[in-house]
Amino acid sequence: MYRIKATKLFKRFRNLKVLKDINFDLTTGDSMAIVGRNGSGKSTLLQVLLSTYTPTKGKVEYFSDEKAMDDSQIRSQIALVSPYLNLYDQLTAEENLKFFSTVSGLNITGKEIEVLFDRVGLGGRGLDYVGGYSSGMKQRLKYAVALLKKPGFLFLDEPTSNLDDQGKEIVFNIIEEFKPLSIVIIATNEKEEYRLVERQLRVD
């Protein structure tokens, strides 16, 4: 059972207040959408939750079975799909997957790689360089990398950006599959995306 608790989060960039008094407490099985107008701080909140931005005030805590998790444990359980997260263009999709699985401490077999590629609709394209992929294919590959870990915390920023209808369907299925197994947090303005989750947090 995982838990994420955000307490009195504030984030300011010089004179610009982006986040103001954000609080929530989610456990495995909970899902939440962060909604707000463009530039309201949805992606900033995700980055604060992922510790890639330090909050100006407040704290984010991760728990596993009510025990506080350290950085390495958190890293092993979080996955992010986002427009500002890029994979290696000069590596093939398969090389990317193998690299991220090894540095995440996972063993992945060739068969599992094939299954993952089929799952995200990239079957037969694993040996292509990512640099030659379309933006939608790159987005699908990010999902393959995110699913590697079977994460306890799944963060999705604009989850269906660049995807065609088939790609969106794949993402909706992934969200539905992960909702009971992990904590799913989505930053979005799309109604069809935030309707998939149970809670909403407005940041504007």
Partner 1 sequence: MSRGNSGLINKTLAVYAKDMRLEFRTKYAINAILLFGISTLAVVSFSLGQSGLSPQLLAALFWVVMFFSAMSGLAQVFIREEEAGTSLALKLSADPEPIYFGKLFFNLTLMCIMTFVITPVFFIFTDAPTDNIPVFFVILILGVFCLCAATTLVAAIIARASVKGALFSVMSFPIMLPLLMVLVKGSEKALKNQPITEIATELQFLVSFTVIMIVLSSLLFKFVWQD
Among residues 82 and 161, whose Cβ is nearest to partner 1? 82
* CB of residue 29 to partner 1, shortest distance in Å: 22
Q: How far apart are CA 131 and CA 168, in angstroms?
A: 22
* CB of residue 202 to partner 1, shortest distance in Å: 25
* CB of residue 203 to partner 1, shortest distance in Å: 20
Token reading at 162:
């660049």
Q: How far apart are CA 26 and CA 2, in angstroms?
A: 8
Residues that bind partner 1 (CB under 8 A): 50-52, 54, 71-72, 75-76, 78-80, 82, 84-91, 95, 99-108, 112, 145, 148-150
Among residues 107 and 165, whose Cβ is nearest to partner 1? 107
Q: Is 67 exposed, middle or buried (0-12, 13-18, 19+ CB in 10 A)?
A: exposed
Among residues 105 and 180, whose Cβ is nearest to partner 1? 105
Among residues 38 and 90, whose Cβ is nearest to partner 1? 90
Token reading at 203:
């940041």
Q: Kindly tell me the sign of the dihedral angle through the C-alpha atoms of 73, 156, 178, 107.
A: negative
